[in-house]
Amino acid sequence: MEESAADLELFLEMVPLRMRNALAHHQELDNLIEVVMDFGRKPLAQFPSGDWVISEEPVMREDLQHAISKVIYLNDIHTLLRFIALIIIFLILFMKSHKKGILDIGSRDNGS
């Protein structure tokens, strides 16, 4: 198995089963750029051709717990460091989006 296929397989193990099954049938799977799992939103797969909604069911806490639990199985330090960096970026974006949402709600209250 070539390295990129092995990397994709390793990555897909971190994706919750319900999303992994949907992704497995996508014709561009080999060109997958990333999977976006924002809590409470529909999970997205990003491909060169555009974004694709993996499931109409929003991302739940269990989905995120599954992905994080898979980190302990990463035995390559470089892969582990990349994954940790992705988690940090995710947390920053998550906090920014929730802060923005709070501000938007507050501005609506003032405009009423």
Q: For the chain, what are the domain ranges?
A: 3-111
pLDDT score for 13: 85
Q: What mean pLDDT, rounded, does the chain reach?
A: 78
How distant, in Å, are the alpha carbons of 1, 25, 56, 90, 97 from that of 7? 10, 18, 26, 20, 29
Rounded to whole angstroms, how far apart are CA atoms 56 and 59? 9
pLDDT tens for 60-91 read 989 988 888 876 555 667 777 777 777 777 67
pLDDT score for 82: 73
Record the pTM. 0.60
Is there a contact between 79 and 69 (Cβ–Cβ < 8 Å)?
A: no
pLDDT score for 41: 93
